[in-house]
Amino acid sequence: MNTIVSTSRTPDVLRELGARLKTVRLRQNLRVKDLAARAGVGARTIDRMEAGYSVGTDTLVRIMRGLGRIQAFEAFIPPPEPSPYEIDRLKGKQRQRASRRPPPESGS
């Protein structure tokens, strides 16, 4: 496996991602058609992804879910943390009163 760095060209990154996904699939002893069925995509789509061709974000999410690796997106793009400015600005402040608008009616 190759390391993906900031200077990696897009085709090289796509090939590396495809190779890594193929390795994960093979370690799970999944055939292409089995992963395709799990992911709800065509087997040709899996083949193309593993060969380094670009696929849509929705397809990537489906494939990752089919591999049981959807949680990898948490590390890939973690939820934003409050900035130091926001933390400092909100420090020690608590809500003092409710708004003038009445609460919404319940549906019962």
Q: What is the DSSP letter of 60?
A: H
Of 41 and 96, which is predicted with more confidence? 41
Taking the model in full, what pTM does it have? 0.71
For 25-59, the pLDDT digits (tens) are: 999 999 999 999 999 999 999 999 999 999 999 99
CA dist 61 and 70 (Å) reads 7
Cα–Cα separations (whole angstroms), residue 43 to 37, 73, 99: 8, 23, 55
Of 83 and 15, which is predicted with more confidence? 15
Given a contact cutoff of 8 angstroms between Cβ atoms, the answer to whether 47 and 93 are in contact is no
* Position 2 pLDDT exceeds 90: no
At residue 66, what are phi and psi to the nearest 5 degrees?
-65, -30
Binned at pLDDT 50, 70 and 90, residue 95 comes out as: low
Q: Report the mean per-residue pLDDT for the chain.
A: 88
